[in-house]
């Protein structure tokens, strides 16, 4: 099996190189969008915090008076036809600021046609068909490069040298008090010209499914279907909860009523309350007071001001245009 995975990873590397050369030579060309386009992406599969940072930047845009839209893929839509990330953005920003579908290029063109000044593309680093003004790449602080192994041998979508395309590299999911310098130094070797920064998911608090704020539960069963389930349990522990058990489903899984009732029964037997993430809450089908939603927000540890200066460069009302150099549109 390892031999087959290594062979498949080698084939993926060859295909990536062929695509890179096709775009570099001009044989294939990306689409230009009239709005400023900023991608928030990563090199690996799994959760690095893209949605949390994208939402933070979108909310900053609103606060600064910048007309921004979020573009994301409608991935594994639920019973109502919406994806979980799409719903999460809509709940926070309003449906008019979110464009989701199969093609991020088409959605970005639509956003520009609607007059958006800024288009924030969730998970756009590997989407070469769309030209970007700025590429932000997130690296998980616990495992930034997964040993340099491409899919399916590892978790990398692209070789580590692809990081040189990024203008901004952000180390995410730092633990409280963790020093970001060692991992940032490693990232600097692959992206020497990039702006470097670090951030973490800060706990806002717990809420009931109806939205009301509640106290942190003492003993919990973590139920999650996210790209980084360990991070959900870790945040619960940091909040002072005793994590008695955890149940992990496939990323983006829409829980059925039967699954929800089963999880509630298991939590009762274990004398626990269920804790889920905000993204899981979008996919949770039953209202029950024994379920607690854990809300987090993006918190810069270092370099945040420089990153946001680059994101909002040249946009009216931000106060950053006079201080930020123009950033060339990304070409793979």
Is 320 within the bounds of a domain? Answer: no
Q: Are residues 146 and 196 in the same domain?
A: yes
What is the extent of the structural domain holding 239?
203-296
**pTM across the whole model:** 0.90
Place of tokens 């309350």: 273
- Torsion sign (Cα): 87, 92, 96, 98: negative
The pairing of beta strand 168-172 with beta strand 98-101:
unpaired
Q: Are residues 192 and 212 in the same domain?
A: no
Place of tokens 């839509």: 77
Backbone angles phi, psi at 104, to 5 degrees: -70, -30
Q: Are residues 149 and 269 in the same domain?
A: no
Cα distance between residue 104 and residue 125, in whole Å:
11
- Give tens-digit pLDDT for 147-200: 778 878 778 888 888 999 999 999 999 988 899 999 899 889 999 999 999 999
The number of distinct structural domains making up the chain is: 2
CATH assignment at residue 7 = 3.40.50.300
Residue 328 has pLDDT above 50, yes or no: no
Q: Are residues 241 and 305 in the same domain?
A: no
Left, alpha or beta for 46 (phi > 0: left; psi -120 to 50: alpha)?
Answer: left
Q: Are residues 227 and 284 in the same domain?
A: yes
Min mean pLDDT across 149-158, 260-269, 270-279 is at 149-158
Cα 202 to its chain centre, rounded Å, is 15
């Amino acid at each position: 099996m390892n031999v087959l995975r290594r062979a498949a990873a080698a084939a993926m590397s060859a295909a990536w190189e062929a695509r890179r050369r096709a775009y570099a030579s001009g044989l294939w060309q990306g689409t230009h969008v009239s709005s400023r386009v900023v991608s928030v992406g990563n090199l690996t599969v799994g959760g690095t915090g893209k949605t949390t940072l994208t939402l933070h930047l979108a909310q900053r845009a609103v606060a600064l008076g910048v007309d921004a839209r979020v573009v994301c893929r409608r991935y594994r839509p639920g019973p109502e036809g919406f994806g979980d990330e799409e719903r999460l953005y809509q709940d926070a920003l309003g449906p008019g600021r979110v464009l989701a579908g199969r093609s991020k290029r088409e959605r970005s063109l639509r956003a520009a046609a609607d007059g958006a000044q800024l288009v924030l593309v969730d998970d756009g680093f590997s989407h070469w068909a769309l030209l970007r003004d700025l590429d932000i790449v997130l690296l998980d602080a616990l495992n930034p490069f997964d040993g340099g192994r491409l899919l399916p041998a590892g978790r990398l979508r692209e070789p580590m040298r692809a990081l040189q395309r990024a203008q901004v590299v952000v180390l995410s999911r730092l633990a409280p008090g963790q020093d970001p310098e060692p991992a940032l130094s490693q990232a600097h070797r692959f992206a020497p010209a990039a702006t470097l920064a670090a951030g973490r998911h800060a706990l806002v608090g717990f809420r009931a499914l109806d939205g009301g704020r509640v106290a942190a539960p003492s003993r919990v069963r973590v139920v999650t279907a996210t790209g980084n389930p360990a991070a959900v349990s870790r945040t619960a522990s940091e909040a002072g909860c005793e994590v008695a058990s955890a149940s992990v489903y496939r990323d983006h899984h829409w829980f059925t009523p039967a699954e929800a009732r089963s999880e509630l029964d298991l939590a009762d037997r274990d004398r626990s309350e269920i804790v889920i993430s905000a993204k899981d809450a979008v996919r949770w089908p039953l209202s029950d007071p024994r379920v607690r939603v854990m809300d987090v927000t993006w918190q810069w540890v270092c370099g945040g001001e420089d990153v946001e200066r680059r994101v909002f460069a040249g946009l009216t009302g931000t106060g950053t245009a006079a201080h930020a150099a123009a950033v060339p549109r990304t070409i793979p």
